[in-house]
Structure 1
């Protein structure tokens, strides 16, 4: 069972976008997504770490990954 958070998935995506704009020269989008996820929902980040749904080493975050993470969010 995952811990609820006060931040919505949509607010999480806004944070990802904000931080990616700041770090896009150094971080891949998947790296930013996973790092922000770790800071706001470490339980979800740990659930996907090292799986096919882990975007850390990817240049983008697929719709499939986003749908899966959102399903764990709720």
Structure 2
């Protein structure tokens, strides 16, 4: 998979994690529809745990983006 696609997914995850940390109730309420409804309702009822999960997501996605090679092309870890 191309490094730019992986980085784009990481950027999406960082944004989602940040919104979850800052606005857990509002963010979960917006996504409480269709197949996401049961999990989003649970998350809305547990804002502290939802914030913690958002923080983990934010850090994991930032670490993923930081570990990627700086060269365009196939995604691979940066050589140290």
- For Structure 1 versus Structure 2, the TM-score category normalised by the shorter chain is 0.3 to 0.5
Whichever of the two has the greater Rg, that structure is 2
Structure with more helix by fraction? 2
Q: Name the TM-score, length of structure 1 as normaliser.
A: 0.32
Give TM-score scaled by structure 2 length.
0.31
